[in-house]
Amino acid sequence: MGLGSTAKKIQTVADTAEKMYRRLNALRKEVESTKRTVEDTGGRVQSLEDEIAEQRVILEAIGDELDVDIEAAIDDADLEDTDTDAETDDSEEIPVEEGNGDDDSVDSNKSDSDGGDDSGGDGDDSDEAKPSQ
């Protein structure tokens, strides 16, 4: 009976390691996707800032030519604080690119993201498929 119990414990450890490996790969893909999204967004923000700077130069040149007091016009304008209008929704779902199909996708591990400890318990994972040997 000692060898059977040991084999079951080893199988449980192997199954847990396999689940952790799949989760780690899914997390790695999410991080890479998020990194690409942040880099792309940074590039777009930079190009928009450059475009706004160009437009400001053009508008100031037009204002100078028409003898418009630019500072007074800016002071008179009803400009709202753009930081308060640009609140982000933290609950917004970030799209994650799917893998090439040779391992679990991120969506298959959504139920594991509840913060629960899947490694504890009685060690009986009979509801999960065991790899054949």
d(CA 19, CA 8): 16
**Mean pLDDT score across all residues of the chain:** 76
- Rg of the chain over all Cα atoms, to the nearest angstrom: 28
Residue 133 counted as domain residue: no
- Find the mean pLDDT for residues 55-73: 91
Domain assignment of residue 87, yes or no: no
Specify the pLDDT at position 77.
85
Q: What range does the domain containing 9 cover?
A: 3-77
**How far, in Å, CA of 22 to CA of 105, rounded?**
9
Residue at 116 is within a domain: no
The reply to whether 109 falls in a domain is: no
CB 65 within 8 A of CB 128: no
In a domain, 12, yes or no: yes
Q: Domain for residue 30, yes or no?
A: yes
Query: Does residue 115 lie in a domain region?
Result: no
What's the CA gap between 10 and 96, in Å, rounded? 34
Number of domains present in the structure of the chain: 1
Residue range 2-59, pLDDT digits in tens = 778 899 999 999 999 999 999 999 999 999 999 999 999 999 999 999 999 999 999 9
How far apart CA 29 and CA 84 sit, in angstroms, is: 33
Question: What DSSP designation does 89 have?
Answer: -
Determine the average pLDDT of the residues in 67-83: 79
Number of neighbours of residue 70 by Cβ within 10 angstroms: 13
pLDDT at 123 over 90: no
Indicate whether 25 belongs to any domain: yes
Identity of the highest mean pLDDT range in 33-37, 59-63, 93-97, 113-117: 33-37
Q: What angle do CA 38, 110, 34 make, to 5 degrees?
A: 5
What is the maximal distance between C-alpha atoms in the chain?
97
pLDDT at 109 over 50: no
pLDDT, position 24: 98
In this prediction the pTM is 0.46
What is the mean pLDDT of the segment spanning 108-120?
A: 46
